[in-house]
Amino acid sequence: MRTDTPQTIYRKDYAAPHYLADTVEMGFDLDPSDTRVATRITMTRNPAAKSRDLVLFGEELELVALRLNGKLLTQAKGDFRIAGGVLTIPAAPAKVVLEIETLVHPDRNTSLMGLYVSNGNFFTQCEAEGFRKITYFPDRPDVMAKFTVMLRADKARYPVLLSNGNLIEEGDLPDGRHYAKWEDPFKKPSYLFALVAGNLVCQEETVRLHSGRDALLQVWVEEGNLDKTQHAMDSLKNSITWDVQRFGLDLDLDRFMIVAVGDFNMGAMENKGLNIFNTKYVLANPRIATDVDFANIEAVVGHEYFHNWTGNRVTCRDWFQLSLKEGLTVFRDQEFSADMIGSDSGRAVKRIDDVRVLRQAQFPEDAGPMAHPVRPDSYVEINNFYTVTVYEKGAEVVRMYQTLLGRDGFRKGMDLYFERHDGQAVTCDDFRAAMADANGRDLSQFERWYSQAGTPQVQASVDYDAKRKTLTLTLEQSCPPTPGQKKKQPFHIPVAVGLLDAQGRDLALTLEGEKKAGPTTRVLELTKAKQSFRFVNVEQKPVPSLLRGFSAPVLLQYDYSDAELAFLMAHDSDAFNRWEAGQRLATRRLLNLTVAVQAARQSGHVVSVDTVLNNLEHDGALANALRATLRDEALDPAFRELVLTLPSETMIAEQMEIIDPHAIHVARQFLRRSLARELREDLLAAYHANQTPGDYSPDAASAGRRALKNVALSYLAELDDEQAMTLAQQQDQQANNMTDRLAALSAILNSAAPGKSEALQRFYAEFEQEALVIDKWFTLQATARNADVNTVRTLAEHPAFTLKNPNRARSLIFSFCNGNPSAFHAPDGNGYSFWAEQVIALNASNPQVAARLARSLDRWRKYSPALQEKMRLALQQVAAAPKLSRDVAEVVTKALAN
């Protein structure tokens, strides 16, 4: 916590470290209130550096002693100085052995960065700059060293002592204490350091690696959770196999550990050989975890494991390069999940899910006050830049290399990247150079994907010449201004296209000048502001299928008629675009309905779903297309579920000039209800046809059936008829897994059915001991249709609620502020006052989590003047709060800036 004006760090100011570290030895005397940390670092002056000053970072530390080459240093004598979290030893010798003793207080550490206590056990979190809360250190990713760690603690309370690498020694000490000594054979930056100490148990297994070596795999949890570790273990084994198969990358350690912790700021952390996970991404069994949880666990276990090569073996030179490891590793985990599903249609379902996240969260970020390039140019607090832009858009950027170079070309680039940079701390430019050099391609313009923020727009138009049988596709790109970037240069955009004939078949695509007919999908490379591509031998006017597979993170505009969209929904061979056509059609309807609701409200009608329902003319195009999809047994149930799911209220909001949350909500509810009426028989049929009797299995096919069945149930619940209610009640009583249980409870809660509070109470009583399920219980209520800020205030008083646990805070507060827009943006502004209170409360205990919540008002300038005014006041209230963290200050300052 700092009260001085926060400093901005610029990428252009990067300077090499003055000293490089060789070895680090650490000793921890673990105690919850006072932990002693002794550190010995051997360092060498960096020939590339200009200064002889030895610079160390440290925060919230009690410095006990500091020795340089055996000599005790004294601050009073000017041997060193400490200011603003930086310890400087001026004019140090070329070779340095530094010995540092610090005292820290893990039990008072509520920020969950550095060394902290969770449920009586010790954990660390060092990325990005948490290591400096353990000891003074050159805590920057381009300083890498070999670590040896000695842990000492009370044996009864902390029987398990873990750190990175290999266990080389353990034994007993006097006074009931014991020790364990760990050695990590690989050089690493301090952000990858980790220790865990406590009362934990593990599931373990030895596996034979591709190299022929054996490795010990462990999943560590609290006692009582060993019935929830199998899926994480399976996911880890699959990750190890997949990385060898797809990228030729094997595990480089004899031992690989995953540890679950209940108090954690994010999803998980890739510490070398000792991954630490939020319990949410480890613990699963059918009773407590949904299909989505199972899939997320697979993805996150994969993600952290894949970091071992993309992040750890090759790391980032500085934090501006964060997407070097995160974008690449998200891309890898996305591909892993897709390959685990296997089928083409399964891959498409995964792709649609990923694109939905991008549009729902990253597009708004790119259009708001925190917009930044995939490789930012500046930051105040690096924790604020673990964003959907760096992660998700970064993954899209990596995917575009693969689209442009092909799978094999991409693999060649990866191989060259490791050949060149194994053991180094590098930049996004180094990655791009490896991709270009391995393929003999010029990717210089591609750099703009790293340096320019904002979502590019691509406007497409076609001109068919019936006489010449040619079709000219014209693509025009632009990119809106973002903070600090008024004008943008054209991007290098891969646009995958296909053309459908009147029967819906793909045409072979031949570009002007080509001798032979080409494939049915072509990747066009748009590099100019405006560019035309001419296809020849086009016998009849086709329907274009543009940006197939979402080949670039752009907004593609094309003037489709309703009929063309319905046609694409029925025929496109590209499953992504088949889904996309439905989304376009639904978005069009939803925007029209929203305008109609606004008009009705203006004219003084009492606006409810029903009044609008009765006042609007019915339109069947969407319903008919959805019915056809619903009935098409050839389509994966998982895919049909995605088609049936309307664009979210947030997605619609992004399409509006001035966001009107209430009108959007009414419009979407209206459309859901009218579709439910129209498709009632088909929904019922789908509900019954997609049961998954027998033992639960989280495989994609079964999950898809449950998803389709449950989306059908949620539509039917809109009708408030007895049959639907009976189905929901039955499912609530009989479900043998959390997916079905939660879907039933949600249907009951969001309908006019009686017995809501009984169902909620029954659920609570049954799962009281399962924190992750109680999180779901809070979320369900915070996002329920009839919830308002008072519902959430009441729930915040519940004995099971606490702001101190990030998962719990997210389950109630974040879910309401981000997941229930019409209630959060209630005209009285009470949602905003609540938000301000919570941000201020969280700021005092956990700045990182507080700053995430602070971002809920990012898009405040997109609302009506009346709402804007109330949001501005709330933002100002936070900005004026005492002891504002750098994290929160950056977010609200940028939101309020012009």
Catalytic residue numbers?
304
| Smallest distance from ligand TRP to CB 267, Å | 6
Q: How many residues belong to the chain?
A: 898
- Residue numbers 385-424 binding ligand TRP by CB under 6 A: 386
Q: How distant is the alpha carbon of residue 242 from its chain centre?
A: 21
> Which does residue 194 touch among ligand TRP, Zn ion, none (CB within 5 to 8 A, set by kind)?
none
| Long-range contacts, 791-799 (Cβ 8 Å, 24+) | 792/816, 792/834, 793/834
| Smallest distance from Zn ion to CB 325, Å | 7
| 494: number of Cβ within 10 Å | 20
User: Is the distance from CB of 463 to CB of 471 less than 8 angstroms?
Assistant: yes
| Smallest distance from ligand TRP to CB 269, Å | 4
> Which does residue 510 touch among ligand TRP, Zn ion, none (CB within 5 to 8 A, set by kind)?
none
The CA distance from 308 to 123, in Å, is 20
> Which does residue 669 touch among Zn ion, ligand TRP, none (CB within 5 to 8 A, set by kind)?
none
- Find the helix or strand (DSSP H, E) in which 40 lies: strand 35-45
Q: How distant is the alpha carbon of residue 144 from its chain centre?
A: 27
Closest by CA to 14, choosing from 187, 142, 192, 132, is 142
Choices 193-201, 260-268, 291-299, 705-713 (CB under 6 A): range interacting with ligand TRP: 260-268
| Smallest distance from ligand TRP to CB 268, Å | 5
Interface mask (CB under 6 A) for ligand TRP, residues 278-307, using x and -?
-------------------------xx---
Interface mask (CB under 6 A) for ligand TRP, residues 128-167, using x and -?
x---------------------------------------
Q: In what order do the strands lie in the sheet with 493-500?
A: 522-526, 493-500, 543-546
Choices 50-58, 322-330, 395-403, 757-765 (CB under 5 A): range interacting with Zn ion: 322-330
> Which does residue 265 touch among Zn ion, ligand TRP, none (CB within 5 to 8 A, set by kind)?
ligand TRP
| Smallest distance from Zn ion to CB 307, Å | 6
Choices 25-33, 49-57, 328-336, 455-463 (CB under 5 A): range interacting with Zn ion: 328-336
The CA distance from 591 to 584, in Å, is 11
Size of the site for Zn ion (CB under 5 A): 2
User: Is the distance from CB of 324 to CB of 427 less than 8 angstroms?
Assistant: yes
644-to-290, 566, 714 alpha-carbon distances in Å: 20, 14, 11
User: Is the distance from CB of 113 to CB of 173 less than 8 angstroms?
Assistant: no
Choices 7-15, 156-164, 267-275, 408-416 (CB under 6 A): range interacting with ligand TRP: 267-275
> Which is nearer to Zn ion, 316 or 475 (by Cβ)?
316
Residues 6+ apart with CB under 8 A from 7: 380
In the set 54, 269, 555, 857, which binds ligand TRP (CB under 6 A)? 269
> Which is nearer to Zn ion, 270 or 291 (by Cβ)?
270
Closest by CA to 593, choosing from 483, 689, 667, is 667
Residues 330, 332, 337, 341: is their CA dihedral positive or negative? positive
> Which does residue 82 touch among ligand TRP, Zn ion, none (CB within 5 to 8 A, set by kind)?
none
> Which does residue 269 touch among ligand TRP, Zn ion, none (CB within 5 to 8 A, set by kind)?
ligand TRP
| Smallest distance from ligand TRP to CB 307, Å | 6
| Smallest distance from Zn ion to CB 326, Å | 5
> Which is nearer to ligand TRP, 184 or 326 (by Cβ)?
326
> Which is nearer to ligand TRP, 181 or 303 (by Cβ)?
303
The backbone region for 537, taken as left when phi is positive above 0, alpha when psi lies in -120 to 50, beta otherwise, is left
The amino acid occupying position 227 is: D
Q: Which two three-digit tokens encode residue 286?
A: 């059918």
Kindly state whether residue 268 participates in binding ligand TRP, applying the rule CB under 6 A: yes
The CA distance from 817 to 823, in Å, is 8
- Residue numbers 21-40 binding ligand TRP by CB under 6 A: none
Q: Which two three-digit tokens encode residue 437?
A: 């050099």
Q: How distant is the alpha carbon of residue 204 from its chain centre?
A: 28
Alpha helices in 100-229 (DSSP H): none
Kindly state whether residue 326 participates in binding ligand TRP, applying the rule CB under 6 A: yes
Closest by CA to 301, choosing from 343, 339, 259, is 259
Q: Which two three-digit tokens encode residue 730?
A: 């039955």
The CA distance from 833 to 878, in Å, is 10
In the set 25, 31, 99, 127, which binds ligand TRP (CB under 6 A)? 127
> Which is nearer to ligand TRP, 300 or 623 (by Cβ)?
300
779-to-459, 787, 812 alpha-carbon distances in Å: 39, 11, 5
> Which is nearer to ligand TRP, 116 or 136 (by Cβ)?
116
Kindly state whether residue 355 participates in binding ligand TRP, applying the rule CB under 6 A: no
> Which does residue 25 touch among ligand TRP, Zn ion, none (CB within 5 to 8 A, set by kind)?
none
Choices 261-269, 653-661, 760-768, 856-864 (CB under 6 A): range interacting with ligand TRP: 261-269
| Smallest distance from ligand TRP to CB 114, Å | 11
Q: Is 106 helix (H, G, I), strand (E, B) or coil?
A: helix
Size of the site for ligand TRP (CB under 6 A): 12
> Which is nearer to Zn ion, 389 or 520 (by Cβ)?
389
The CA distance from 352 to 639, in Å, is 9
The CA distance from 400 to 387, in Å, is 19
771-to-275, 411, 753, 811 alpha-carbon distances in Å: 21, 42, 27, 11
860-to-364, 729, 815 alpha-carbon distances in Å: 11, 40, 18
Choices 12-20, 50-58, 114-122, 323-331 (CB under 5 A): range interacting with Zn ion: 323-331
Kindly state whether residue 266 participates in binding ligand TRP, applying the rule CB under 6 A: yes
> Which is nearer to Zn ion, 130 or 821 (by Cβ)?
130
| 194: number of Cβ within 10 Å | 27
- Residue numbers 329-348 binding Zn ion by CB under 5 A: 329
| Smallest distance from ligand TRP to CB 395, Å | 11
| Smallest distance from Zn ion to CB 311, Å | 7
> Which is nearer to Zn ion, 326 or 580 (by Cβ)?
326
Indicate the residue whose CB is closest to ligand TRP.
266
Interface mask (CB under 6 A) for ligand TRP, residues 86-125, using x and -?
---------------------------------------x
> Which does residue 386 touch among ligand TRP, Zn ion, none (CB within 5 to 8 A, set by kind)?
ligand TRP
Q: Is the peptide bond before 128 cis (omega within 30 degrees of 0)?
A: yes
Alpha helices in 253-362 (DSSP H): 291-306, 322-341, 344-357
> Which is nearer to ligand TRP, 276 or 479 (by Cβ)?
276
In the set 35, 102, 121, 265, which binds ligand TRP (CB under 6 A)? 265
> Per DSSP, what are the bridge partners of residue 151?
28, 180
Choices 168-176, 318-326, 811-819, 858-866 (CB under 5 A): range interacting with Zn ion: 318-326
> Which does residue 268 touch among ligand TRP, Zn ion, none (CB within 5 to 8 A, set by kind)?
ligand TRP
Choices 265-273, 585-593, 624-632, 784-792 (CB under 6 A): range interacting with ligand TRP: 265-273
The CA distance from 108 to 103, in Å, is 13
> Which is nearer to ligand TRP, 326 or 366 (by Cβ)?
326
User: Is the distance from CB of 320 to CB of 375 less than 8 angstroms?
Assistant: yes
The amino acid occupying position 535 is: F
Residues 6+ apart with CB under 8 A from 898: none
Q: Which residues bind ligand TRP (CB under 6 A)?
A: 125, 127-128, 265-266, 268-270, 303-304, 326, 386
Q: Which residues bind Zn ion (CB under 5 A)?
A: 326, 329
